[in-house]
Amino acid sequence: MGDDEVIVLGTVFSMFSMRVRVALSEKGIKYEYREEDLGNKSPLLLQTNPIHKKIPVLIHNGKPICESLIILEYIDEVWKDKSPLLPSNPYQRAQARFWADLVDKKVYTSASNIWRKKGEELEEGKKEFIEVLKLFEAELGDKPYFGGDRFGFLDVALVTYYNWFQAIEICGNISIKEHCPKLMAWGERCMEKESVAKSAADVKTVCDFIMVLKKRNGVA
C-alpha cells in the first residue's frame, strides 16, 4: 500500500474532516490535504460528493469515499495492520458505532445551540448540551480512552470536538469541566497524541469562528 494516492478534501474548522486526518495519521498514512472553500466549492468536491456536496471526502487512488464515519471504517479496513480503530469483538464494535452515531445525532446538534440561539433559548440549549456530554462522561467512566486502554473509533469520532468544547467554554461562558471533568481530562490526554494535536485547529481560531457563526445567525 506504499504507492497509494490519498487525498483529503476538508476545512480546517470541520470536526468531520479532522476525523479523517486523525485516523490517517494514526495509521501512519501520508496524504495530501486540500482545504476547501465552502462558499466556492471546488469542481473536485462537487464531482466526488455529488449527492451531499460536503466535506470531508477521502479520495483513495482516484476513488471517492464520503461521510466521515464511513471513511473511518474504510481507513480501518484498508490499513488494518496498524492501530486498529474498531474493536475485533462484534458486540464492542456495534457499541463503538452506536456511540459514534450518537456523537453526530446529539453532540453536533446540541453544540450548535451555542451559535444558533440567544436569551432564554440559549440557556436551555446550554443545559441540553451539558446533558448530552454527561452521557459520554458516563460511557467513558474511568477508562483512559473510549476504546479502553487504546485510542479507538469513538475516540477519533469525538476528539475532533474537543477544541470546540474548549472554545465553547470560552465564548459560550459555560464550564464543561465542572460537569464533565473526566471527559475534559480525556480530551487533554488525546491532545498529547501527535495525530490529534497536528490535525486540530487552535482554540482561539475556533472561538473566532464561533463568533462569526453567531453573527451570521443574528444571535451576537
Which CB atom, from 179 or from 219, has the smaller least distance to ligand GS8? 219
- The length of the chain in residues reads 220
Q: How far is the CB of 54 from ligand GS8 (least distance, A)?
A: 3
Q: How far apart are CA 138 and CA 136, in angstroms?
A: 5
User: CB under 6 A: which stretch of 64-72, 138-146, 160-168, 200-208 binds ligand GS8?
Assistant: 64-72
Question: Residue 38, interface with ligand GS8 (CB under 6 A)?
Answer: yes
Cβ contacts of residue 45 below 8 Å, gap of 6+? 9, 36, 53, 55, 57
At 106, list the grid cell: 446529539
Question: Residue 56, interface with ligand GS8 (CB under 6 A)?
Answer: yes
Answer for which of 6, 26, 60, 68 binds ligand GS8 (CB under 6 A) is: 68
Write the CA distances from 41 to 11, 35, 50, 132, 185, integer angstroms.
11, 10, 11, 33, 37
Binding mask 12-31 for ligand GS8 (x = CB under 6 A): --x-x---------------
Question: Residue 115, interface with ligand GS8 (CB under 6 A)?
Answer: no
Question: Residue 53, interface with ligand GS8 (CB under 6 A)?
Answer: yes
Q: How far is the CB of 98 from ligand GS8 (least distance, A)?
A: 16
Question: Residue 161, interface with ligand GS8 (CB under 6 A)?
Answer: no
When CB distances to ligand GS8 are compared, the closest residue is 54
Nearest to 160, CA basis, from 134, 126, 195, 133: 195
Q: How far is the CB of 17 from ligand GS8 (least distance, A)?
A: 7
The radius of gyration of the chain's CA atoms, rounded to the nearest angstrom, is 17
User: CB under 6 A: which stretch of 61-69, 87-95, 139-147, 207-215 binds ligand GS8?
Assistant: 61-69
Q: How far apart are CA 87 and CA 89, in angstroms?
A: 6
Which CB atom, from 65 or from 132, has the smaller least distance to ligand GS8? 65
Q: How far is CA 87 from the centre of its chain?
A: 19
Residue with cell string 487533554: 188
Burial of residue 33 (CB within 10 Å: 0-12, 13-18, 19+) is middle
What b/e sequence results for 104-143 when a residue is b if at least 16 CB atoms lie within 10 Å of its CB, and e otherwise?
eebbeebbebbbbbeeeebeebbeebbebbeebbebbeee
Q: How far is the CB of 74 from ligand GS8 (least distance, A)?
A: 12
User: CB under 6 A: which stretch of 62-70, 95-103, 154-162, 198-206 binds ligand GS8?
Assistant: 62-70
Q: How far is the CB of 174 from ligand GS8 (least distance, A)?
A: 21
Site residues (vs ligand GS8, CB under 6 A): 14, 16, 38, 53-56, 67-69
